[in-house]
Structure formats: structure tokens, C-alpha cells
């Protein structure tokens, strides 16, 4: 398996523009997570899905952020309109809930977003 795939790897956009980040989880995994990483706040969970259904979006900063998972192999995180403070690395991770514990989360390579 190629692991979790994210695109684009880098995104530079101007304030006010819409940004869409994409993720393909590992095949067969039933959990998908979106994280944001900054130097100031570290790694923050934004939202996670179980079997394509959003379970907890309490980490989504505000209404400008939205996430969808239309099927088991694809998810998007959208920011509209984007602001400079959204600049961060956004990670997608997936996992398979095992019989013991909660399963290891496999992270993608991340998307580095810069909003100017």
C-alpha cells in the first residue's frame, strides 16, 4: 500500500481565496483524521470520520473550515475564505480500529499551506 496520500504537498495562496486539501486514506481503514500543525500550537485534531461519517468536528477552528468524506477512499478539507493565520501544515491520518486499543494512526506527508 502507498500509505496515506495527500495533495497538494505545498499550497501558496492569497488571503480570501478558497483552499482545498485532499486525502486518500489507506485502503480498508475506517477512521480518517485531519490535523493541523503549527509551531505555536503543535499538532491539533480538527475533525475525524468513522466510516465516512464525521464524528467530532469540535477542533475545527471556525465556519471557514469544512471537511467532507464522500466515500471511503477520499476526503477534503476546505478553507473558504483563507486567512494568513491558517498557514500551517495539514496532516491527514487514517487508522483501523483493532480489537485492542484504538489502532495506530498512519499519517500522510502533509500539505504545507501558506496564505499571504
Partner 1 sequence: GESVGLHLPTLSVQEGDNSIINCAYSNSASDYFIWYKQESGKGPQFIIDIRSNMDKRQGQRVTVLLNKTVKHLSLQIAATQPGDSAVYFCAADNNAGNMLTFGGGTRLMVKP
Q: Applying CB under 8 A, which of residues 12, 27, 104, 116 lies at the interface with partner 1?
A: 104
Rule CB under 8 A: say whether 43 interacts with partner 1.
yes
Is 4:94 a contact under the CB 8 Å cutoff? Answer: yes
Listed residue (97, 86, 5, 11) closest to 48, CA to CA: 97
Is 97:116 a contact under the CB 8 Å cutoff? Answer: no
Q: Applying CB under 8 A, which of residues 23, 60, 95, 115 lies at the interface with partner 1?
A: 95
**Radius of gyration for the chain, computed over Cα atoms and rounded to the nearest angstrom:** 14
Question: How far apart are CB 33 and partner 1 at their closest, in Å?
Answer: 8
Q: Which residues bind partner 1 (CB under 8 A)?
A: 4, 31, 33, 42-45, 48, 50, 55-56, 91, 93, 95, 97, 100-110
Amino acid at each position: 500500500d502507498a500509505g496515506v496520500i495527500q495533495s497538494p504537498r505545498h499550497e501558496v495562496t492569497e488571503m480570501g481565496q478558497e483552499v482545498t486539501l485532499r486525502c486518500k486514506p489507506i485502503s480498508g481503514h475506517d477512521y480518517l483524521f485531519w490535523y493541523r500543525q503549527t509551531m505555536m500550537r503543535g499538532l491539533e485534531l480538527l475533525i475525524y470520520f468513522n466510516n465516512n461519517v464525521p464524528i467530532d468536528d469540535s477542533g475545527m477552528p471556525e465556519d471557514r473550515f469544512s471537511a467532507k468524506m464522500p466515500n471511503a477512499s477520499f476526503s477534503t478539507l476546505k478553507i473558504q475564505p483563507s486567512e494568513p493565520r491558517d498557514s500551517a501544515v495539514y496532516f491527514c491520518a487514517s487508522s483501523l480500529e483493532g480489537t485492542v486499543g484504538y489502532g495506530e494512526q498512519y499519517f500522510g506527508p502533509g500539505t504545507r499551506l501558506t496564505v499571504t
